[in-house]
Structure 1
Amino acid sequence: MEAPLLLTSPHSGAHYPKSFIDASRLDAHTIRQSEDMFVDALLAKAPAHGIGVLSANYPRAYVDLNRAPNELEQALFKDTLPAHIDRHSARAAAGLGTVPRLVAENTPIYDGKLSFAEAERRIQNVYHPFHRKLEDTLRALQHGFGYAVLLDTHSMPSQATRLSSEGRRIDFVLGDRHGRSCDARLSDWLERDLTARGWQVARNKPYAGGFITDRYGRPADGMHAVQIEINRAIYMDESNYTKHAGFARLQNDLTELVAALATALPALLSDTLPGPTRSAAE
């Protein structure tokens, strides 16, 4: 990679194992409701600009990579969960844990309950390899450039977005954990660029950033993370799961944005580096 910038798409995975489909009560269409469809495709041209992309293979309904590894809900399992499980996770209690019970509000994935061993398999075989790759890549970028920037990219149902002051639905929500996961100049830059392209942008409402943003956004250590939520209606038909004409424009805008960001980063964040590293970079 030629820039200290990594893009992730942890919810666009579309490999649904047969055993998972067989265990689910949902049809092939409904089970995809929580999938961030085509987000990986929106980012597909970034590597041509020296920017890394890490996308999930498995769907969020199977295992949610944007959760801590121990956010599980006792109600989903036959056996008693071990002591290391986070029993106070509000996300798990809502049915949206690391192995979720629901695919959408009031839409259970299963008729029955799972074994804890099944959850462990998914976490060991899918969750941990993704996060090892993510952490290793960010550390390599930080080692090479002195800092690293992560844009964790998602999509949101259009009806989940609030109206702007102009009465339009919000197109993008930038989540930086209310300023804790990155230098403020990074969020400001992203908002300015998207707004200049004609998009409606909100900050931290209704999405302030999930586990990935919180876990990897450590600006004091040179790790900057922003979650980007994209309104699905601007690039796809939400009812039949197909791209529409807006996809090409959005893909082009995102490609131009990340290429411009890669160029801007040295001036934007270089003064956040330790003294010797900054001098070497300059």
Structure 2
Amino acid sequence: MKDVEATVPSSPCGHPYYEVIRPARQTEPFVFNSPHSGRLYSDDFLAATRLDRKGIRRSEDHYVDQLYAPVTALGAPMLKAHFPRAWLDVNREPYELDPRMFDSPLPAHANIGSLRVAGGLGTIPRLVAENTEIYRGRLSVAEGLARIERIYRPYHACLRRLIAQTHVKFGIAVLIDCHSMPSGLKAAGSSVRPDFIVGDRYGSSAAHDLSRAAVGILSGLGYEVARNKPYAGGFITEHYGRPARGLHALQIEINRGLYIDEKTLEPTRGYQQLQGDLAHFAAEMMEFVRDEMGDNLLAAE
């Protein structure tokens, strides 16, 4: 069978739209995914946006792929996007599209009524952070659908294969979906600004013990950790988490104030500490799965 990575589509500049970073040998039943840290902005996209180069980057999960890079040395693969979230968001259904963005009617199967579309954050976003419009004018429907067919669908095919290979090899697969959030965000109903939010779709995408372990490990490192509020997990967490089948998915949101200057988007002195702590977190999660989830590594409570 042809390897998925051998058929990764390339951007106009010749760079792959995404890639899998693999360990020399996968020794852990984990897959890490960084779908929003892409920094490859094409000239065509920059010409189409009304934003400057810094403004268009506001919706990035800045450097999250690099923060988690040490996990491959621990024995787990990582899939990371190079295309930017502002251009295509793979943490959405494939056709969550806003008809206001396009120059002609969308196909009947498009989901035009979701809350994410209403908020400007569909599969092809209309807005970046702070409710700022992305495009100067309307897009062609053909261009929008081409992004989905040429990049979105192969990206998810690659992610599904990584998860399936892991599940076959170990009898369990744990997906860690890696994200970041604005520093000013507060936990729902609280004045606390969490350092991390662990999302498990309110217990439906991962075993409760696994979620509690994630919260406990991060808390033990001295971080303020919330669970599910306000981020319980997006399409990826919901779609791939099937704990009754031994398929677990957790979304981890990191407070950007821990590691970047949100005005300049440059890493701060906290970057190295955070990267080390995330490696520790990953190692502890791997140990928990090996030692605490039973001989059969079964899932749901």
| TM-score class normalised by the smaller sequence | over 0.9
Cα drift, residue 271 of structure 1: 5.6
Q: Deviations over 1:1-43 (max 9, x none)?
A: 1100011111000001111111111111100000001101101
Q: Are 2:227 and 1:230 equivalent residues in the alignment?
A: no
2:71 counterpart residue number: 46
Task: Classify 1:5/1:76 alpha carbon distance in 2 versus 1 (closer, same or farther; 3 Å).
Answer: same
Pick from 116, 129, 138 the counterpart of residue 104 of structure 1: 129
Q: Are 2:37 and 1:16 equivalent residues in the alignment?
A: no
Give % identity.
47
1:260 counterpart residue number: 284
2:206 counterpart residue number: 182
Aligned counterparts of 1:272 and 1:83: Cα–Cα separation in 2: 44
Pick from 60, 68, 81 the counterpart of residue 85 of structure 2: 60
1:152 counterpart residue number: 177
SS in 1 for 2:147: helix
Aligned counterparts of 1:182 and 1:271: Cα–Cα separation in 2: 18
AA in 2 matched with 1:62:
W
Note if contact 1:163-1:170 (Cα within 8 Å) is conserved in structure 2: no
2:111 counterpart residue number: 86
2:101 counterpart residue number: 76
Q: Deviations over 1:157-177 (max 9, x none)?
A: 011233997x65210001100
Pick from 264, 272, 277 the counterpart of residue 240 of structure 1: 264
Number of residues of Structure 1 aligned to a counterpart in Structure 2: 273
Note if contact 1:71-1:89 (Cα within 8 Å) is conserved in structure 2: yes
Q: Give 5+ residue unaligned stretches, structure 2.
A: 1-25
Note if contact 2:186-2:192 (Cα within 8 Å) is conserved in structure 1: no
Aligned counterparts of 2:173 and 2:132: Cα–Cα separation in 1: 38
Note if contact 2:36-2:60 (Cα within 8 Å) is conserved in structure 1: yes
Note if contact 2:197-2:229 (Cα within 8 Å) is conserved in structure 1: yes
Note if contact 2:289-2:297 (Cα within 8 Å) is conserved in structure 1: no
2:14 counterpart residue number: none
Q: Deviations over 1:94-132 (max 9, x none)?
A: 110000111123310012110111111211222112111
Note if contact 1:222-1:272 (Cα within 8 Å) is conserved in structure 2: no
2:6 counterpart residue number: none
- The 10-residue stretch of structure 1 (168-177 or 32-41) with the greater mean CA deviation from structure 2: 168-177
AA in 2 matched with 1:3:
E
1:123 counterpart residue number: 148
Could you say what the CA RMSD is over the residues aligned between the two structures, in angstroms?
A: 1.5
Note if contact 2:259-2:267 (Cα within 8 Å) is conserved in structure 1: yes
* Structure-to-structure mapping, 1:260-279, within 5 angstroms: 260-270=284-294, 273=297
SS in 2 for 1:202: strand
2:7 counterpart residue number: none
Note if contact 1:99-1:119 (Cα within 8 Å) is conserved in structure 2: yes
Task: Classify 1:186/1:18 alpha carbon distance in 2 versus 1 (closer, same or farther; 3 Å).
Answer: same
SS in 2 for 1:149: strand
Note if contact 1:236-1:242 (Cα within 8 Å) is conserved in structure 2: yes
Cα drift, residue 50 of structure 1: 0.5
AA in 1 matched with 2:218:
L
* Structure-to-structure mapping, 1:131-170, within 5 angstroms: 131-162=156-187, 168-170=192-194
1:213 counterpart residue number: 237
